[in-house]
Structures are given as C-alpha cells and as structure tokens.
Chain A
Amino acid sequence: MRFLRMKPGHGEVLIAEGDVEMPQDEQRLIEEFRRQLEAGMWAAVPVTAGAGRREARMARTFDDVPRDAERVIFFPPAAGGC
C-alpha cells in the first residue's frame, strides 16, 4: 500500500509505503495516516466498484481503507471558494 500526497508545484509525493499484512508496516502506515488527517488532509482510495465503474472512497480512519487498496491519496481539504 502506498500513501501519496498531492502537493502544489510538484504533483503527488510518495509519503509512505508498506505491506499491511506486516505488523510493523501496518503500524507505520496507521501512524502516517493519522498524521496526515491531523494535519487536515482528506484521504481517498480509488477503487473499482460494480460493473467496473471507477470511483473513490473517502477514508476518515485507517479502518475505512480496504486491506487490498494499492494506494491512498491525501489532498488538502475542500473549502468554499470563488
């Protein structure tokens, strides 16, 4: 599982990577997930839903992330604009 973070002027940055089946890796990923959410980031997991349709699932806790997810994308939270 890879954690990617969108960044202005750069595009995505790999911030963590690990195998959730390995306890040490999983703990590291959980800590990084918490760190990103505490920094205000939103987390989304791109998934393929029924009929092959692609969509994203927002994750508010690490438990929301499917175990087989390949990547979690963190991005700045939405704010009303214009």
Chain B
Amino acid sequence: MLLALAATAIVVLALLWDVLAPRTAEALARRRARRATAALDYDPGRERRAEARARMLLRSCVEEEDWAMYRDLGFLRVWGGRSRRPGTGPDEDGSPYAYLIYPHKPILAYLPQTGRLLNEYCVAFPDETRPYGSERLPDSDDVLAKWMALTGDEQRLIETANLHLPGRQLDPRTVERDLWRLRRWERARARSIASGEPATAGRVPAS
C-alpha cells in the first residue's frame, strides 16, 4: 500500500514538473528581463549625457555660425544644394532655397527670399538595434544626421523622405515665427560681429 502511494506520488510529481517547469522558467526569465529593464531605466542622466555628447559632436562638424544658430534658436538652416547660397555668386539654377532642420521633426523646405514654405520631408534615422530600449538618436545627433545627409547627398535623403505639404506636422505659424526669429538673429549677429561684441549677442528668445 505504502509502495503504491509512493509510486503514485512520484508519477504525480513528474507530471506536475512537466507542466510547471516551463512556466517557472518563463516566469524567472520575465523577472530577470524586468530587472534588466529596470536597471536600464534607472539612469535619469543617461539621455542628458547622450544629448550633451551629441551637441559636442554637432558643434565640431558644422560651421560656427550654424552651431550658434542651433544653440540660440533650436534649429538649423541648410542651403539647398541645387541652388547657390546668397552672396556666393550668380545663381544659375533657380532661386536659393533652404531647409530648416528641427530635432525629430520633418525637414522643412522654404524660399528664404519670400518666406514661402515649400514642403515637409518626413524622415527619421531609427536604430533598430535599440541599444537602450529606444531607436531614437539624441536630438542633436538627429539634427547632425539630417545635416550630413542633406549636405552629403541631398537627393538621396529627399527621395527617402515622405513628402508632405507644409502644415502637416509643423505648424506654419510656428515656422513663420521661427523664420522671423532667424532674420532677427542674423541681423543681431551681424551687428555684434561688426561691433566686435561676443557672438552670443545674437540670441533671440522663442517667446
């Protein structure tokens, strides 16, 4: 009798083990993953440090004026490659056009002479490896990636982007205000440089 009970208990335990072992292993794996994620998330300064590093890299790549523009205004202007930038000689390929580059927002094409908005180019640089759980580059890396792609191979980037009319993602009133801020900033900067003041005198507040 005792032997039969023991044998039954062993069989029951074996069956239970078959059922419970995979679930237990899954639960343990989930717990380990949660802990790992929690460990990754618990670094409030990581994104800030990443952004600080990205800003240094951006600053080292673009012209000093462009860096000052991004620092003061929060966006970067890049002249279109298929036209000449103003003041560099006769324009044989049409009116100068330019792009505004915002971090993690569409690239906006416009005509500087008239302020007319042309197109929004929606483009992203997702990193599928998601090293810290996110595919988004730091803001300034996103701006630098757009700048490199635009100045290095404008056509390739524009062909890759999704084209939309102005106003889809970027509020035209905000953009018009940014263009106004840019004009003020350039005038102030030109005055500062002419008078020998520090270049930061061109700072224009957003509001």
The reply to whether A46 and B138 contact each other, CB–CB distance below 8 Å, is: no
How many contacts between A and B, using CB within 8 angstroms? 131
Chain A residues lying within 8 Å of B149, measured Cβ to Cβ, are 42, 44, 56, 58, 78
Partner of A10, one of B124, B131, B147: B131
Q: Of A9, A44, A78, A82, which is within 8 A of B134 by CB?
A: A9
A9→B152 contact, CB < 8 A: no
Which residues of B are found within 8 Å of A23, using beta-carbon distances? none
**Shortest CB distance A70–B (Å):** 10
Count how many chain B residues have C-beta atoms less than 8 Å from C-beta atoms of the other chain.
50
Interface size counted on chain A using CB atoms at 8 A = 29
Residues of A within 8 A of B62 (CB): 54
For B135, the chain A residues whose CB sits under 8 A away are 8, 76
Whether the pair A76, B125 counts as a contact (CB closer than 8 A) is yes
B49 x A80 contact (CB < 8 A): no
Closest to B105 in A: A82
Residue pair B124, A51 in contact (C-beta under 8 Å): no
Cβ 8 A contact of B137, one of A8, A56, A77: A8
Q: Is B199 an interface residue (CB 8 A)?
A: no
Residues on B lying within 8 angstroms of A by beta carbon are 46-47, 49-54, 57, 60-63, 66, 88, 106, 120, 122-128, 130-138, 141, 144-145, 147-149, 151-153, 156-157, 160-162, 164, 168-169
A-B CB proximity, top 9 nearest: A11-B53, A9-B132, A82-B122, A81-B124, A56-B148, A55-B151, A58-B152, A80-B162, A44-B148
